[in-house]
Structure 1
Amino acid sequence: MIPPEPTGQPPTPASPGASARPPHGPRWMRVLLGVTAVSLLFGLWGAWQVFAPGAAHPQRQLAAQAAQIEDLQQQVATLTRSDQISRDANRELQGTLAERDEEIAALRADVAFYERFVGSTSQGRELSVHELRMQPRTDQGWHYTATLTQSLARDAASEGEMRLAIEGTRNGRLQTLAWSDLRQRADAPGVPYAFKYFQQVEGDIVLPPGFQPLRVTVRLAPKGRGAVVERAFSWADVTPRSAPEP
């Protein structure tokens, strides 16, 4: 049997697309995954920008909060100043009212003083102690001013001596200081007075350390047969409000 003669052409190779994989497949897969990941990241960033816009500007938020805090501090300062002004005005008003009360009391005292010389109120009133005032001089020293009056019904002048006595406490016990104690002399004479209508008698006394005065008694001893006149005053009524405690 005679073999077939060659045709002179090489055999045709098999088509590569039938069974072989494309040459660079894994690299393209990695590129595709990278693009997808980047897209997801951009998507998440965009969503965060949409739903949390303030987080992208922390400095702006801090500036806004600082401005709000400063505004609140200014409001607090304004309210505090307004409250202080109100307190000062109220304190000044209270002081003015107290001064007016003192002026009214002084005017009433003047009216009572002059009523002793005119009208029906002067009848039956002869020698009397109209007023007593005590002013601090030192820690224990005090200056007294007593206003003495008598009625117009009495034509003659009144003469005599005035003495003071002070009741109070010392070391928890009641104590009465006589005129000799206040003048620090056993034979201290009384303060002389002589007037027809009124007279102010002044002088100084000394209180012992630790003595707390409560009441002052003014004693008038007229010359001749006249009756002794006494009048007691509360220590708080005869001393100024701002006077220090003895």
Structure 2
Amino acid sequence: MAKPPPPRFVIVQQQPDRRPLIAAVVAAIWLASLAGAWAWATWRAAPQLPKVSAELDAVRATLRERQARLDQLEQREATLQRSDQISRVANKQIQGALADREEEIADLRADVAFYERLVGSTGKPQGLNVHSTQFSPEAGGTWRYMIVLTQNLNRGAVSAGRLEFAVEGVRNGKLTTVGWAELHQRPAAPAQDYSFRYFQQLDGSVMLPAGFTPQRVRVSLRGGDASVEQAFDWRSGATVTGET
């Protein structure tokens, strides 16, 4: 009798996959080891926590103290800088005031020296007086005049009033006097004010008529305490002393 052929298909019972279970067990063991390590570290460090906390508080307190000190120093530095700036400005103002005073003193000394040269240490005291006149030609045909007034009779007293002058000369072969208004080419030209204690220099510009040859200058002073009239020779560019 012939042996039957083996079956083409064999039914094998499949075993369950245990890999997920193994992975879960390993993960649980790893987590347990981490928890144990953390617990062990906490147990070891727990006795040091109060000391560390106290040191941390002390460091924070020191930082706050040093920050407050730094703020104070910065405020002090700002105050000192502001004070230094104010001192510099005040010092600059004082130096400017001293320079102005020194300039005033120099001007006064120059005035005194000029006055001494005018009147001389042995000169005879005089009241209001025209010390000198000077005329210089300018561009444009005008003449620049400079007239010096002095007085040393009433020391400290103020001489005040008004000055006018007329120029005497020849025009078209005839003696002619050119008055103050014509010299300034203005009708009713105002006289020039003066006010001084010892001397004063007055200046300005006038225009001589065409064809006029100047020869003399007659200066008139009209003040509350005195009236003076003096005549001077005309010399272009030179200071001359006149006679009353």
TM-score by length of structure 2 reads 0.47
TM-score by length of structure 1 reads 0.47
